[in-house]
Structure 1
């Protein structure tokens, strides 16, 4: 049998001996080096398929290094592909929405109308309102920033809110 193993890898018994000798070690190598994501058993099988396809070009003494080189390269290719996919996803974030075109149009029209009404507010009302609703500041903080009493700030926000409610259909704030 030793003489037979020194022969061609393309012989079924020789190939079977190589498979039995290295398959588990290849899977362990892949698992330890790249984890379960690389799917070690599939890559091991693919490596043996490549060995079979190249059996006339690979000598028995080079079979082990051939297999390890092949599985390592396949695992690296998977990682490289995952990096490309990740980069693509980061560059091309969802350019689509689930909203209908009508909804998007209405939303844009509402925002334009909202901006127009905000521009038409008195400056004191607009500043107090935006500090409260956009910046999330408390009335006491706004009063300190603007140098007015808290009651004045509440009045300015209240009047701005009423103006927005009158001018914009469906305007609500939480």
Structure 2
């Protein structure tokens, strides 16, 4: 039976586990066994079904891992391209400050205020909500809007954006 399972799941360890699971289930449900039942056919059918389930699961896991790796590689390529395009000599401290201020100034006033209170002053969302007499959800929404707008404004300046978002 292990040899049968190994033909499909390839791994000896997986095949052993499948066969062992089938026998454990058989033992746990021994009262259900019918004396007129073809035990060999039952065991091989159960092992076949467990192998199918195992292989389907492995395929899902592998596809997920592949997709995550592809997304990671895309992210790495974007970061690499951005860093290669980023020339430190092009920007003085004043230029970087201008870029950041221009991006922050593009935020709506309330959004900018909430973002400053959260990221510059280091206040918690609850404190900001109480101080401005607004809900915590509004604070979270405004910070989300700020991040989205800053991402758009600073898309060509990934290192600056990463710095801002890490505040």
Whether TM exceeds 0.5 here: the answer is: no
Structure (1/2) with the larger helix percentage: 2
Normalised-by-shorter TM-score class: 0.3 to 0.5
For the pair shown, which has the larger CA radius of gyration, 1 or 2?
1
Q: Which has the higher contact order (CA 8 A, sep 6+)?
A: 2
